[in-house]
Structure 1
Amino acid sequence: MGKYFFLSLLAGILFSCSDGDLQIETIDFDSVAIQFCTAPQTSVKNIMFKINDDEALILELQSGVLNKGVVGETIITESSVPSQSQVTYRIFSDGVTKNYFCDAIPTTEPTVVDEIEAEDGTVIIQTVANEDNTEFVHTIQLSGISFVTDTDERITDLTISEFGEVSTAIPAPAE
């Protein structure tokens, strides 16, 4: 009788259903283009995002971090997460579009199923002037981004070597 009980218990463990907890194995936005609602500016916080069907990776850059260019030089600027810039990962109930982030009146669908804010990491911005010296081109990278769920489970240490490129105007020389 004992061995039947053990076999029943083992079968129950092997074939038990999930309790519905969200299981995130990977966060992959490498091949997804960067988007934003308004063109990046140098003196305000900038919100940029990447959408991958029903997932979004949202980057809120600290104010002034894009204002670090010098014509003729490559400048590397870092912004720590979460004290200076924020990175948020969202999972939605259905596919999401740019309108979700940019509409004046927020949509009610799709709904946010889960939202996790990064607890650690660095945003690295490489800034160079374009060939015409009319704009700074900022290449944004994420390094060591660490997401931790409400149950203290580490999802990943995310590194995106190229989150995307954005441009800002080179300020006119002071007279």
Structure 2
Amino acid sequence: MRKIILSVFVLGTIFSCSDGDLQIETIDFDSVSLQYCSNPVRNAKNLMFKINESEALILELQNGALNNGVVGDTIITESTVPNQSQITYRVFSDAVDDDYFCDDIPVVDPTVIQEVVAEDGLVIIETMLAESDSTLFAHSISLSGISFVTGNGERITNLAISEFGEVTTDVPN
């Protein structure tokens, strides 16, 4: 009986060992501020990101997604992932800051340990006149149905990134 219990324990230990792959259990960026290197502009491609210590969530918004809007109206724009906009999740070897994304010459350290590109989802942009300044449009960006699949086929579904953030652009003259 003792040999059977020992055998079960040994086999259980062998099969429960990790193969060394990094496992992503959750992606949580709701409490992290939206950042960008240069102010977002209408009718252009825009790069925005959120940094959570050694993780980053990067949104490359398709050209024209931040449209001109209409003074007095709320405009909803949708951009599909990955066909129109791209969302990338990166894990770094150490804490990262905006220099990683904004420097003309990319920094060498920290290094990217894992990168996962979203395979499905929707970026929703609600555009309206900014309440605080009638010369600006406010663009509220949210994510819906974002699906990441790692290189080993693991689907990441425990996402807490629905509200990506808000940016403003000038109202055209």
Normalising by structure 1, report the TM-score. Answer: 0.91
CA RMSD in angstroms, aligned pairs only: 1.7
**CA deviation after TM superposition for structure 1 residue 133, in Å:** 2.2
Task: Give the direction of change, closer, same or farther, for the CA distance of 1:115–1:104 in structure 2 (3 Å limit).
Answer: same
Q: Which has the higher contact order (CA 8 A, sep 6+)?
A: 2
> Residues 33-48 of structure 1: matches in 2 within 5 Å?
33-48=33-48
Corresponding residue for 1:106? 106
Q: How does 1:1-20 map onto structure 2 within 5 Å?
A: 4=3, 7-14=6-13, 17-20=17-20
Q: What's the offset of the Cα at 1:89?
A: 0.2
Work out the percentage of aligned pairs sharing the same amino acid.
Answer: 63
Q: Return the offset for 1:158.
A: 3.3
Conserved? CA contact 2:68–2:171, under 8 Å: no
Instruction: Report the AA paired with residue 35 of structure 2.
Output: Q
Whether contact under 8 Å (1:147, 1:157) holds in the other structure is no
Q: Structure 1 148/141 Cα, relative in aligned 2: closer, same or farther at 3 Å?
A: same
- Partners of 2:30 and 2:160 within 8 A in 1: no
2:68·2:172 contact (CA, 8 Å) conserved in 1? no
Structure 2: how far apart are the matches of 1:58 and 1:77?
19
Runs of at least 5 residues in structure 2 that lack an aligned partner in the other structure: none
User: TM-score, with normalisation over the residues of structure 2?
Assistant: 0.92
Aligned residues: 171
Residues 27 and 160, structure 2, Cα contact 8 Å, conserved in 1: no
Question: Which residue number in structure 2 is paired with residue 23 of structure 1?
Answer: 23
Q: Distance in 2 between matches of 1:113 and 1:93?
A: 6
1:157 deviates by: 5.8
Following superposition, the deviation at residue 70 of structure 1 comes to 0.6
